[in-house]
Amino acid sequence: MTDPQALDRAACAARDTADPLAPLREQFDLPAGVNYLDGNSLGVLPRATAARVQDVVTQEWGQGLIRSWNSAGWIDLPRRVGDKIGRLVGAAPGELVVADSTSVNLFKVLSAAARIAQADDPARRVIVSERSNFPTDLYIAESVAAQHGMVLELHDIDAIPARLASGAGSDVAVLMLTQVNYRSGRMADMAAVTAQAHAAGALMLWDLAHSAGAVPVDLNGANADFAVGCGYKYLNGGPGAPAFCWAHPRHAERFWQPLSGWMGHAAPFVFEPGYRPAPGMQRYLCGTPPVIGASALECGVDAMLAAEPLGGMAALRTKSVALSELFIALVRQHLAGSGLTIHTPLDAAQRGSQVSLGVPADGSIDGYAVMQALIARGVIGDYRAGDGTAAEPHLLRFGFTPLYTRFVDVFDAIQALAEVLARGEWREARFMAKAAVT
Amino acid sequence: MTDPQALDRAACAARDTADPLAPLREQFDLPAGVNYLDGNSLGVLPRATAARVQDVVTQEWGQGLIRSWNSAGWIDLPRRVGDKIGRLVGAAPGELVVADSTSVNLFKVLSAAARIAQADDPARRVIVSERSNFPTDLYIAESVAAQHGMVLELHDIDAIPARLASGAGSDVAVLMLTQVNYRSGRMADMAAVTAQAHAAGALMLWDLAHSAGAVPVDLNGANADFAVGCGYKYLNGGPGAPAFCWAHPRHAERFWQPLSGWMGHAAPFVFEPGYRPAPGMQRYLCGTPPVIGASALECGVDAMLAAEPLGGMAALRTKSVALSELFIALVRQHLAGSGLTIHTPLDAAQRGSQVSLGVPADGSIDGYAVMQALIARGVIGDYRAGDGTAAEPHLLRFGFTPLYTRFVDVFDAIQALAEVLARGEWREARFMAKAAVT
């Protein structure tokens, strides 16, 4: 923060002018008249993607047909794009593969973790996670736990250290957390929490859905055990893009994962009747790779890797923190007394790349309608319902994606939000359709 | 066969001219100079797909961003495209969903079948399949069997009726077959085999990878229990297109399937911590739908549904049989004495939409090199290795996709194959890269 006092639009514009990362925005096709602060739900379209997808469809598929499995490198896509994502999350080449959805990948790695834990110590029968983890993680964990005779135990995030500490964690098989909580934006210290899990003898599984491309991640540096992540949020891979999974090399070959499809076979084109898992992470592939989606994802990852000469994830993180600090400062300046509360940690070290604002527990503001009114003004964040209490409020969620979000965007968003509230615009904005996908 | 004696090119061209389905070919962008007989591995590009995918990328994603989950109907894609595929395979609206890969979907439905069988009769512990079933089906079944304390038993297809008959099948939980064998092209009678399985008290699971869009299928008419199928073969959905799965309504709600992701939850956007499966087949969804791939698949399915006013799958089947009968007749005429054998049933009722030719067991012909030489001439089929015996020969595989394959294409393919063999061209054709995806 060069000048925390200067919070007017001109000062924000000056910061954009001085921003060495500003040219990265040119890589994206952003809709006119839209201030998009929802890249934590669905990332934007890289300029390169449309042409690349068209080439995959018309040339590689249309002209090359089956020959493209070799000539266009389709068969290597899961590893090629995986290696690129690995550079963003501290995974070495060959350690990370692109495949399936985040939910399906979680099933694979959590099943492997459960098998390893059971083999090493059958008394470890508990999978621990955060109560407010993204639900699909909990649903998948519920299924994996049931299949392995384990139980899924949910805790508030602050209660987890005690659950693991000094002998209390001797029954814990796996700690499974999303590093950045999708609601609050609170970020866990990956190395510290992994060390806590290991000290208790448990395996550590990270969901990087709101981390990969958003904050620096070092899976090997943190000595994590397993990870999954999403391709369509900060990685800008497109709606429903393929996801990814990683296992520490010490685990990658210990067990089959249960989705033992032919692409994870040691010799997929020999067509043997019996399964023999491929070496390393390739065994975490299952069916035929989704070529069009994986090619689009590669464009998104490439757009992120374009930041490497400018300082890479560390530089993006610095800008991300500056954006969220600015947002918080502007909330305090313009929304004091509005009833909205800041539901995201004020300590930047505990914050991902989003800020969530809670609506008052007294129900005096309809957060859903506020977001619809903002969207009508071209400011796109999203709304996530809670139970409406002060502890778990309904949320207005704003994501900052330093590849393309500008300081003026943050300024304009707060101005719009202040006006929507001051003018009561949201009272008229209850017309729009429901539900966006986080 | 209007005139089985007339096997010259002019007669084939005349049949194309008279073919009421011939205009359907205009729906596809076929590469110049290519005679494509591998639609059973990867279907061709519909003309509508490139523009549709471009619209999804640049407009729905690029401009609409998260708003498109509602405004562009992304959230309904799995059911919308599923309903269209349902029209091709005898599934009612709402019974079939598009999701994930064939392998992943098989894991879902086979797990559900195993749970149902165990609940109804714990003594049924055997999953029976065909030894030469497509390997990924066997690998997935191996995993599901292990997870449920069951065993996977593989038999030659002709031995399966005895395995099920008169009491011998009392330990069988599920019979899992691919209706059209990927190697031999042999087609099972879905209704008869399903009845055999049911008579033995077993559930019947069909893989329609080489059936959907290739032959008429009536899942409900056959009273089948579960089915999966592939989007990128006869449905022309593009490389790695999403797949589909179906359960008979009597089973759809009996159990969760283990990949219990948020898209299969009863209320995915309420973000509850506990899993409640959605009603009906929607619980077979798992993660966020692959929007670009599913949109491309819809174009492929639409191209197939365009045959409905012309007689639909029944008319396509009539043409398919005529094409494969022509191929067989030409093999007999032009390849007698070549050493190649017809490895596909001669009875059209037992044949899918492909014919496979076995290479001599004496190793005198290198089938792989023959196919490379054919491909160099623009005739694309594929090669599938066997064990090299007369019982399981190495195969040259030719698929006939009546939406776009012409009678002259069949004629030209046989001429090319005869020349490749007569001139020994294949001896020089060992240069090309390995492996295409079935």
CATH of the domain at A329: 3.90.1150.10
Q: What is the pLDDT of residue B237?
A: 98
Contact B104 A104 (CB under 8 A): yes
> Does some domain include residue A280?
yes
Q: What is the pLDDT of residue B428?
A: 78
Of A31, A58, A100, the CB nearest to B104: A100
Asked if A236 contacts A300 with a C-beta cutoff of 8 angstroms, the reply is yes
In a shared domain, residues A335 and A290:
no
Q: What is the pLDDT of residue A221?
A: 98
Residue-number span of the structural domain to which A181 is assigned? 73-305
Contact A238 B384 (CB under 8 A): no
Contact A271 B437 (CB under 8 A): no
Nearest CA in chain B to A277: B139
- Chain B residues with CB-CB distance to A238 below 8 A: 57, 61, 291-292
In a shared domain, residues B152 and B292:
yes
In a shared domain, residues A244 and A316:
no
In this prediction, the residues of chain A whose per-residue pLDDT falls under 50 are: 1-2, 432-438
Confidence class for position B86, pLDDT limits 50, 70, 90: very high
Residue B133 has pLDDT above 70, yes or no: yes
- Rounded Cα distance, A379 and A371, in Å: 8
Q: What is the pLDDT of residue B118?
A: 94
In a shared domain, residues A170 and A233:
yes
Total domains in the fold of chain B: 2
- Return the residue in B29, B128, B259 with the most chain A beta carbons within 10 A, the one to mutate for interface testing: B259
> Does some domain include residue A187?
yes
Structure tokens at B307: 């045959």
Residue B314 has pLDDT above 50, yes or no: yes
B319 is catalytic: no
In a shared domain, residues B196 and B316:
no
Of A132, A238, A271, the CB nearest to B292: A238
Nearest CA in chain A to B41: A66
In a shared domain, residues A299 and A202:
yes
Structure tokens at A203: 């395996």
**End-to-end Cα, chain A, rounded Å:** 29
Q: What is the dihedral of CA B387, B388, B392, B397, to 10 degrees?
A: 110
Q: What is the mean pLDDT of residues B270-276?
A: 92
Residue B333 has pLDDT above 90, yes or no: yes
Active-site residue identified among B207, B225, B409, B412: B207
Of B68, B131, B147, the CB nearest to A258: B147
- B207 appears as a binding residue in the annotation: yes
> Does some domain include residue B124?
yes
B397 is catalytic: yes
In a shared domain, residues B82 and B14:
no
CB proximity list for B336: less than 8 A, separation 6 or greater: none
Contact B66 A380 (CB under 8 A): yes
Contact B291 A103 (CB under 8 A): no
What would the pLDDT profile of A405-425 be if each residue is shown by its tens digit? Answer: 999 999 999 999 999 999 998
Q: What is the pLDDT of residue B318?
A: 98
Interface confidence, given as ipTM, is 0.96
In a shared domain, residues B341 and B405:
yes
Of A305, A336, A353, the residue that ends a domain is: A305
> How far is residue B164 from each of residues B129, B134, B200, measured CA to CA in Å?
12, 21, 6
What would the pLDDT profile of B188-237 be if each residue is shown by its tens digit? Answer: 999 999 999 999 999 999 999 999 999 999 999 999 999 999 999 999 99
- Rounded Cα distance, A383 and A399, in Å: 12
Q: What is the pLDDT of residue A167?
A: 86
In a shared domain, residues A391 and A333:
yes
> Does some domain include residue B437?
no
Contact A104 B140 (CB under 8 A): no
Of B271, B286, B380, the CB nearest to A103: B286
In a shared domain, residues B212 and B284:
yes
H or E stretch covering A196: helix A190-199
In a shared domain, residues A298 and A319:
no
> Does some domain include residue B207?
yes
Confidence class for position B429, pLDDT limits 50, 70, 90: low
In a shared domain, residues B382 and B422:
yes
> Does some domain include residue B435?
no
Active-site residue identified among B368, B397, B409, B412: B397
- Return the residue in B42, B52, B276, B395 with the most chain A beta carbons within 10 A, the one to mutate for interface testing: B42
> Does some domain include residue A338?
yes
Of B258, B274, B305, the residue that ends a domain is: B305
Instruction: List the CATH number of the domain containing B258.
Output: 3.40.640.10
> Does some domain include residue B278?
yes
Active-site residue identified among B28, B107, B134, B234: B134
Q: What is the pLDDT of residue B166?
A: 81
**What is the nearest CA distance from A36 to chain B, expressed in angstroms?**
9
